[in-house]
Amino acid sequence: MNLTLATDQRGGPEIFASLQGEGPSAGMPVAFVRLSRCNLACTWCDTAYTWRFEGDNRPHRDGIAYDRKANQVTLSPVETAERIAMLGQKRLVITGGEPLLQAPALAEMLAHLPDITVEIESNGTVAPPARLDVLVDQYNVSPKLAHSGNPADLALLPERLDAWATDPRAFLKFVIAAPADVDEVLALQARYRFRPERVFLMAEGTDSAALRARQAWLSELCLRHGFRMSDRLHIHLYGDTRGT
């Protein structure tokens, strides 16, 4: 079973080395692999080229429909692992799209990378099968709030949120566009008993000015409620570009 990856700016597989830009590992040097396909559709998604292909009418604020052939590439798990290993990093971030949609092939890939520390970034709606789960060191789970445009019955699954709340490897990262979004986080925290120190609030934005403007008030809300604040370091360093 092959993996379906997103493409970089040159049309090759989006496998690269960079600094982790978000969440608990921000600033750490890592290898990234970005997979294609997603089961949700966030209106502000900054990687819509992984899912919003021609014929997909799910709403997105940019309104761009991407050519599937130009934005997807397939590799075997072995070849993907070889390309990751060539980057020489000790830590791997698997992102998307929604990576857990390709869990069986990911498990096969990671079997060829026994000495690497593994993070998976997920929207939190898909349960990792045991074969993959035992190989993962950290989950960066980003449940989607109402402003994402996803219905709650698709994006906020009680059985999955319960599971992430009790998994010591899981950190919760919420994208925040307005102060009212934090009220939704607080309601979810009360229901699922998320530990505040494992909750990150991250301003929505794809340029430094937008991030800084929202962080000005978001920092105060993090302080008030005991949450951690996540920047988007890669946006400041590289802008909103692929392969960074």
The encoded tokens of residue 64 equal: 């761009």
Residue listed under structure tokens 């994006």? 155
Are the beta carbons of 202 and 176 closer than 8 angstroms? yes
pLDDT at 129: 98
Across-strand partners of 18? 30
Q: Is omega for the bond preceding 11 within 30 degrees of 0, making it cis?
A: no
| 134: containing domain | 3-173
Helices 77-86 and 103-110, interaxial angle, to 10°?
50
Provide the residue-wise pLDDT of the chain in tens; the chain has 244 residues.
999 999 999 999 999 999 999 999 999 999 999 999 999 999 999 999 999 999 999 999 999 999 999 999 999 999 999 999 999 999 999 999 999 999 999 999 999 999 999 999 999 999 999 999 999 999 999 999 999 999 999 999 999 999 999 999 999 999 999 999 999 999 999 999 999 999 999 999 999 999 999 999 999 999 999 999 999 999 999 999 999 9
CATH for 123: 3.20.20
Residues ≥6 apart with Cβ < 8 Å to 188: 143, 156, 161, 194
Tell me if 118 sits within 8 A of 97, measured CB to CB: no
- Structure-block tokens of residue 100: 């857990």
As for how many domains the chain has, the answer is 1
163 lies in a domain?
A: yes
Predicted confidence at residue 64, as pLDDT, reads 95
Residue 186 counted as domain residue:
no
Indicate whether 235 belongs to any domain: no
CA–CA separation, 236 vs 244, rounded Å? 11
Q: Is residue 228 part of a domain?
A: no
Would 210 be classed as within a structural domain? no
- Distance separating alpha carbons of residues 105 and 126, to the nearest angstrom: 15
